[in-house]
């Protein structure tokens, strides 16, 4: 999930540039500068990418926006002459026009780096696709509207402090809109259609709006970051910003707080799950959980849980199917870290299973360098549950982190189950087919909402 991210000074307009006069007068008392179509590349067919200049620009970006350094260095440069300026894809590739780099000043290029990486950190492609699903906005002009709204979200406060504002920056002032909204809010509150003809050249790539471009190398191509790597970069940037208050502006701090929401109270959830497991028929073999703790003798009438003395063994099944976003997987990793803390830091008691249509092996947390989340296909968590129950020693609690769009085991597993749900609106087909009843998590699971 993500929700949302917002603001801060950094970046610049990805697509921006240079010169020219406004195409049409703006009927407003104080017109902001009109976006300007980038100057077309010079005819020299074989201009090579001035890579040192591009990398110098990235270093400048790192210098003036140090809290984005991990993300800036994670972008993979792909030279492509068909790209108008610079554009990103969801796999953290940055497609670069050699002619654009050649004609753009270094400081302005630094702004483009920050702008492009902001699209990816803020998860604009997934958020844009989600917005389109929820609002059934699938018309031909929609990707451009999403790109404009995403640029509004990024560009309203990124200039200054070493990043000059380029002439063609797409900015909420163009429509007299407030400067601190999110992409979704711009899409909801403004039609943006008055801008689309002026901004037909605007193209920040599929990483900004989710629409695949001709130059995209796709999920399997070279140079792309894996899901795990993408999660790790976003997580490191957010942790860095939260860990050093004062270094990043408000908008990025809000992003860091919201991109990875606070984890669930796992100590309580697991404690409750294990206590009720102990009293459930047939699953109470572990007497430890029945026995009141010693301190309860001193507190008449109160039975304290014994969880701290005998923490439960937890197997976390993470839904890695294609419908779960990178940001949600990032949240899932946070929950796993919180679960590990809840069992007293006993990483040996926690294992993780990636599961899309098929389940991966159970990886004990104590042996995982970083947790590798593999998936991207359809969803069937039943295989994840089966795999969890085959692990030895058997888990006391299964935690499933999922968007819920999966078949569930028909019978309750012989241990307690907590389902952490990534919230989803009703799917389009649910609305179209009145006879279709989406299958919620089963009654035997304790359900909490993540995010
Ligand atoms: Zn952009």
Most confident of 43-47, 280-284, 308-312, 442-446: 442-446
14 within domain boundaries: no
**What separation in Å is there between the alpha carbon of 165 and the centre of ligand 1?**
14
**What separation in Å is there between the alpha carbon of 202 and the centre of ligand 1?**
8
Give just the sign of the alpha carbon dihedral 351, 354, 355, 360. Answer: negative
**What separation in Å is there between the alpha carbon of 213 and the centre of ligand 1?**
14
Query: Distances in Å between the alpha carbon of 55 and those of 50, 85, 210, 343, 442?
Result: 9, 16, 26, 45, 53
**What separation in Å is there between the alpha carbon of 56 and the centre of ligand 1?**
21
Q: Which of 232, 259, 286 is the last residue of a domain?
A: 259
Parent domain of 445 = 266-449
Query: Which string of DSSP letters, residue by residue, matches 366-397?
Result: GG-SS------S---HHHHHHHHHHSSSPPSE
229 within domain boundaries: yes
CB distance 367 to 351 below 8 Å: no
pLDDT tens sequence across 222-266: 889 987 788 889 888 988 888 887 778 888 888 887 776 666 788
Most confident of 178-182, 423-427, 431-435, 443-447: 443-447
Q: Which of 214, 229, 259 is the last residue of a domain?
A: 259
pLDDT tens sequence across 81-111: 999 999 999 999 999 999 999 999 999 999 9
Distance CA 68, CA 60 (A): 12
Output the pLDDT for position 34: 57
For residue 389, what are the contacts with CB-CB under 8 A and spacing of at least 6?
395, 398, 413, 414, 415
In this structure, the answer to whether residues 166 and 300 fall within a common structural domain is: no
The candidate with the shortest Cα–Cα distance to 319, out of 403, 198, 200, 196, is 403
In this structure, the answer to whether residues 181 and 279 fall within a common structural domain is: no
**What separation in Å is there between the alpha carbon of 119 and the centre of ligand 1?**
7
112 within domain boundaries: yes
In this structure, the answer to whether residues 286 and 384 fall within a common structural domain is: yes
In this structure, the answer to whether residues 237 and 92 fall within a common structural domain is: yes
**What separation in Å is there between the alpha carbon of 17 and the centre of ligand 1?**
12
CB distance 2 to 126 below 8 Å: yes
Q: How many domains, in total, are found in the chain?
A: 2
**What separation in Å is there between the alpha carbon of 89 and the centre of ligand 1?**
11
26 within domain boundaries: no
pLDDT tens sequence across 416-439: 999 999 887 665 555 455 555 557
Output the pLDDT for position 194: 78
In this structure, the answer to whether residues 231 and 282 fall within a common structural domain is: no
Under the banding of pLDDT at 50, 70 and 90, the label for residue 175 is confident
């Amino acid at each position: 999930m993500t929700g949302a991210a917002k603001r801060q000074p950094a970046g610049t307009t990805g697509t921006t540039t240079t010169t020219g006069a406004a195409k049409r007068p703006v009927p407003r008392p104080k017109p902001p500068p009109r976006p300007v179509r980038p100057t077309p590349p010079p005819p020299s067919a074989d201009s090579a990418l001035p890579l040192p200049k591009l990398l110098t620009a990235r270093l400048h970006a790192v210098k003036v926006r140090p809290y984005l350094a991990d993300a800036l260095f994670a972008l993979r440069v792909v030279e492509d002459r068909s790209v108008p300026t610079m554009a990103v894809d969801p796999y953290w590739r940055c497609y670069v026009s050699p002619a654009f780099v050649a004609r753009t000043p270094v400081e302005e290029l630094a702004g483009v780096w920050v702008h492009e990486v902001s699209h990816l950190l803020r998860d604009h492609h997934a958020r844009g696709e989600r917005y389109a699903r929820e609002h059934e906005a699938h018309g031909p002009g929609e990707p451009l509207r999403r790109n404009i709204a995403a640029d509004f979200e990024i560009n309203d406060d990124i200039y200054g402090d070493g990043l000059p504002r380029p002439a063609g920056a797409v900015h909420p002032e163009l429509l007299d809109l407030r400067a601190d909204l999110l992409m979704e809010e711009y899409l909801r509150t403004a039609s943006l259609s008055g801008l689309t003809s002026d901004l037909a050249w605007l193209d920040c790539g599929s990483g900004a709006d989710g629409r695949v471009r001709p130059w995209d190398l796709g999920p399997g191509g070279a140079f792309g970051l894996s899901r795990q790597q993408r999660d790790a970069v976003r997580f490191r940037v957010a942790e860095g910003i939260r860990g050093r208050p004062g270094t990043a502006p408000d908008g990025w701090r809000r992003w860091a707080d919201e991109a990875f929401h606070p984890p669930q109270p796992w100590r309580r959830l697991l404690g409750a799950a294990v206590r009720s497991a102990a009293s459930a028929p047939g699953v109470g073999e572990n007497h430890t959980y029945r026995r009141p703790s010693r301190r309860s003798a001193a507190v008449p009438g109160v039975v304290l849980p014994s969880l701290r003395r005998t923490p439960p063994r937890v197997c976390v099944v993470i839904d890695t199917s294609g419908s779960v976003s990178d940001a949600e997987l990032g949240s899932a990793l946070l929950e796993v870290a919180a679960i590990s803390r809840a069992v007293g830091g006993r990483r040996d008691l926690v294992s993780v299973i990636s599961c899309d249509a098929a389940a991966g092996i159970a990886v004990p947390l104590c042996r995982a360098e970083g947790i590798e989340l593999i998936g991207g296909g359809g969803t069937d968590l039943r295989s994840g549950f089966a795999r969890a129950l085959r692990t030895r020693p058997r888990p006391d609690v299964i935690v499933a982190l999922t968007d819920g769009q999966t078949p569930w085991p028909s019978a309750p597993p012989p241990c307690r189950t907590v389902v952490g749900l990534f919230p989803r609106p009703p799917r389009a087909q649910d609305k179209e087919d009145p006879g279709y009843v989406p299958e919620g998590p089963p009654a035997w699971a304790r359900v909490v909402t993540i995010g």
